[in-house]
Amino acid sequence: MIVVSDIWAEALSILSGRLQAISFEVWIEKLEPLCFTQNRLILLANSQSSKKTIENKYLDTIKEAVTEVNALITDVIIITENQKEKYLKEKDYIFNNELVVSNKKPVKDNGFSFSKKYTFDTFVVGKSNEIAVAAAQTVAEHPGGNFNPLFLYGGVGLGKTHLMHAIGNYIKEHSPHLKILYTTAEKFTSDFINSINQNKVNKSATAEFKEKYRCVDVLMIDDIQFWSRSTGSQEAIFHIFNDLYQNDKHIIITSDRPPKEIAQLEERLRTRFEWGLTEEIKPPDLETRIAILKRKAAGQNFFLTDDVAYFIAKNVQSNVRDMEGLLNKVIFYSSLTGSLVDSIQSAQEALRDYIQINKESIDANDIINTTARFYNVTPADIIGKRRTKEVVEPRMIAIYLIRDLLNIPLQSIGEIFGGRDHTTIINARDKIEDQLKSNSHVQNAVKDIKDMLYRR
Ligand code: ADP
Ligand code: MG
C-alpha cells in the first residue's frame, strides 16, 4: 500500500538536504500532503501566495524528489484550501494495483530523518567503492573511533549521500542515544549567515548556532565543494571542528573532489579534513552497475531482465543517479502501457527519447554556449579573435570538447571558429589533451561542462 504521508515524509528528508534551510522551513515544511489522484501527489498550501511562490520556485525540485521516492508519481500539484473538496472527491482510486489511503500527518522525530531507502543493505559494493563502504561501516559501528574525519569524494551520483544516510540510519538503529546532525555545506553557510543577521535582534543567535553544531556526536556535511568563501563561516566551522574532534565526536564530509582541489577552503581546514581517511568513490564498473540496477528494481518489485539491465548499464557509465532515472522510466513506461519491458528492443523503445537526448542531440552550438556559460563569457568571445586570458582557455576547451564529443572534421571546426586554420584546431585540442593529464583545474572544467551538457 502506498501511503501519501509516508511518501511525503521521505520526500521531505530529501528536500531538506537540497534546499536552503530557510526556504525549506518557510515553504516546503508547511505543505500538507493531501492525497493522490491518479499518479499525482496533491499538496495543500496555506495561502494563495505561498502556492504561487512554491509553484514558481520549488515545484521542479519537489517533483524530482517525489519521483525519486516513488517512480510512479510523476506530478505534484499544489492547491489551496478551497480546492480541497474537489481533489478529495477524486482521491480513492487504484494506484499500482493497490488502494491509496491518505491522510495521516507525517511522523517527525526530533532529529534529522534519514531516508529509509539509503542503507548499507541497499548499497551495492564493488571495486570502485569497497574501501569507502568499509570505512563508512567502521564509522557507523564505532562513531568517534577510527577514520575521523571521514572524507569521501567522487563524481555526481556515485552514492556519497547514500552512504551518509546509511551511516545515519545505522547509528539511529544501533546507538539511538547518539545525536547526529546532517547538513549540506550550503545549508550550513546559510544557517550561519541567518544567525548573524538574527543576532541584531536576538543577542544569542550566533551562540545558539554554534551550540547546535557543537553538541552533536556525529556531524555530517554533504557537498563541501559548495562551501562559501566567507571567512566568517570558515572560522565558525574551524572552531566547531576542533571542539568536536577533541571530544572524539565524528565528522563525516563529502565532496565531488579531494580537499586539495577545493579552492575556497582555508589551508587550516584543508589539513584538518585530511587528518582522518580521505577516500575516493569511483564510477562503478559494468558488473556493479548491473547489480545496482537489479537491487533498485527489486526494491520496487519490478522484475528486471538481464538484457534490460545490461542495456541500461551500458548507456550510463558514470552516474548512478542517471542510471536509476532510466530504470524508473522503464518501470513507469511498463506500468503505463501495461507492456513487458524485458528485451533490449523494448527497452530501446521505452527509453527512445531519453537516450537520444543524451547521445545525439548535442551539437557544436550547445558546446560553445555551455562552455561560455561555464566561464561566464559570451559565445561570441569563444568563437572570436580576442586573445586575452579570459577567452583563450574557454575557446580551447570548446574546441577540445567539440572534437571529443562530436567527431566533426577539423576543417569544419575551423570554420565554426571564424575560419581558423585546421592546425590551430589541432594545437588547441592537443594542448587541452595534454593538460588533462596533470592539470586538475582543466580536468574539473571539462568534467563540469560535460555534466552541464548532459543534464540539460
Ligand atoms: P551523490 O551524493 O554521490 O551525488 P547519491 O548518494 O545521491 O550520489 O546517489 C545517487 C543515486 O544512486 C541514489 O539513488 C543512490 O541510492 C544510488 N547509488 C549510487 N551508488 C550506489 C550503489 N553502489 N549501490 C546502490 N545505489 C547506489
Ligand atoms: Mg549527494
Which cell is 223 given? Answer: 557537498
**pTM for the complete prediction?**
0.61
Q: Please answer whether residues 113 and 243 qualify as being in contact, where contact means their C-beta atoms are separated by less than 8 angstroms.
A: no
What does the pLDDT read at residue 314?
85
Percent composition of the chain: helix, strand, coil (DSSP 3-state, to 5): 60, 10, 30
Which cell is 320 given? Answer: 548512478
State how far the Cα of 269 lies from the Cα of 286, in Å rounded to an integer. 36
**Lowest-pLDDT range, 149-158, 168-177, 218-227, 328-337?**
328-337
What does the pLDDT read at residue 106?
37
**419 or 357, which is more confident?**
419
**Percentage of residues of the chain with pLDDT beyond 90:** 55
At 110, the pLDDT band (50, 70, 90 cuts) reads very low
- Any ligand 1 atom below 6 A from CB of 124: yes
Stretch 309-325: mean pLDDT = 90
Q: Is the pLDDT reported for residue 113 higher than 70?
A: yes
Which cell is 393 given? Answer: 582557455
What are the distances in angstroms from CA 86 to CA 5, 65, 177? 19, 25, 45
| Ligand 1 atom, smallest distance to 222 CA | 2
Instruction: Select from 161, 124, 117 the least CA-distant residue to 294.
Output: 124
Q: Is the pLDDT reported for residue 358 higher than 60?
A: no
Which cell is 140 given? Answer: 557507523
**83 or 359, which is more confident?**
83
Distance 319 CA to ligand 1 centre (A): 8
Instruction: Select from 310, 354, 307, 306 the least CA-distant residue to 328.
Output: 354
Distance 321 CA to ligand 2 centre (A): 10
Among protein residues, the one with the nearest Cα to ligand 1's atom 25 is: 123
State how far the Cα of 66 lies from the Cα of 61, in Å rounded to an integer. 9
At 105, the pLDDT band (50, 70, 90 cuts) reads very low
Enumerate residues 6+ apart whose C-beta is below 8 A from 58: 19, 23, 27, 28
State how far the Cα of 195 lies from the Cα of 128, in Å rounded to an integer. 40
3-class DSSP state of 41 = strand
Distance 109 CA to ligand 1 centre (A): 25
| Ligand 1 atom, smallest distance to 124 CA | 24
Ligand nearest the Cα of residue 290 is 1
Q: Is the pLDDT reported for residue 361 higher than 70?
A: no
Stretch 282-287: mean pLDDT = 94
3-class DSSP state of 40 = strand
Give the HSE-up count for residue 1: Cα atoms under 13 Å, Cβ half-sphere.
9
Q: Is the pLDDT reported for residue 170 higher than 70?
A: yes
What are the distances in angstroms from CA 50 to CA 5, 34, 194, 310? 21, 16, 21, 45
Residue found by looking up cell 582543466 in the block: 442
Among protein residues, the one with the nearest Cα to ligand 1's atom 15 is: 159
Residue found by looking up cell 525519486 in the block: 68
At 454, the pLDDT band (50, 70, 90 cuts) reads low
The secondary structure of residue 203, as a DSSP letter, is T
Q: Is the pLDDT reported for residue 367 higher than 70?
A: yes
Q: Helices 59-69 and 4-18 meet at what angle, rounded to 10?
A: 120
Distance 96 CA to ligand 2 centre (A): 29
3-class DSSP state of 148 = coil
Distance 10 CA to ligand 1 centre (A): 16
Ligand nearest the Cα of residue 153 is 1
Strands 98-99 and 94-95: antiparallel
Stretch 31-56: mean pLDDT = 90
Residue found by looking up cell 551518509 in the block: 164
- Supply φ then ψ for residue 182, to 5 degrees: -105, 130
**Percentage of residues of the chain with pLDDT beyond 70:** 93
Range with the largest mean pLDDT of 4-8, 134-138, 224-228, 442-446: 134-138
What does the pLDDT read at residue 100?
40
Q: Please answer whether residues 263 and 293 qualify as being in contact, where contact means their C-beta atoms are separated by less than 8 angstroms.
A: no
Ligand nearest the Cα of residue 157 is 1
- Any ligand 1 atom below 6 A from CB of 8: no
Distance 360 CA to ligand 2 centre (A): 28
Stretch 367-375: mean pLDDT = 92
What does the pLDDT read at residue 156?
92
Among protein residues, the one with the nearest Cα to ligand 1's atom 19 is: 159
Stretch 412-434: mean pLDDT = 92
Which cell is 274 given? Answer: 585530511
| Ligand 1 atom, smallest distance to 156 CA | 4
Other CB atoms closer than 10 Å to residue 174's CB: what's the count? 11
| Ligand 1 atom, smallest distance to 284 CA | 23
What are the distances in angstroms from CA 249 to CA 191, 212, 318, 443? 21, 14, 33, 35
Ligand nearest the Cα of residue 296 is 1
**Lowest-pLDDT range, 220-224, 380-384, 445-449?**
445-449
| Ligand 1 atom, smallest distance to 133 CA | 23
Q: What is the pLDDT of residues 232-279, one digit of tens each?
A: 888 989 999 999 999 999 999 999 999 999 988 899 999 999 999 999
| Ligand 1 atom, smallest distance to 117 CA | 16
Q: Which of 15, 69, 70, 162 to mutate to test the pocket of ligand 1 (most atoms within 8 A of CB)?
A: 162
What does the pLDDT read at residue 111?
57
Distance 153 CA to ligand 2 centre (A): 10
What are the distances in angstroms from CA 333 to CA 19, 295, 319, 338, 426? 30, 19, 22, 8, 44
- Supply φ then ψ for residue 151, to 5 degrees: -115, 110
Q: Which of 119, 321, 328 to mutate to test the pocket of ligand 1 (most atoms within 8 A of CB)?
A: 321
Q: Which helix (H) or strand (E) holds 76?
A: strand 75-79
What average pLDDT does the chain have?
Answer: 87
At 5, the pLDDT band (50, 70, 90 cuts) reads confident
Stretch 196-202: mean pLDDT = 87
Q: What is the pLDDT of residues 319-347, one digit of tens each?
A: 999 999 999 999 988 888 888 898 888 88
**Lowest-pLDDT range, 77-81, 362-366, 410-414?**
362-366
Which cell is 415 given? Answer: 570554420
Could you write out the DSSP letters of every residue in 229-278? --HHHHHHHHHHHHHHHHTT-EEEEEESS-GGG-TTS-HHHHHHHTSSEE
**38 or 287, which is more confident?**
287
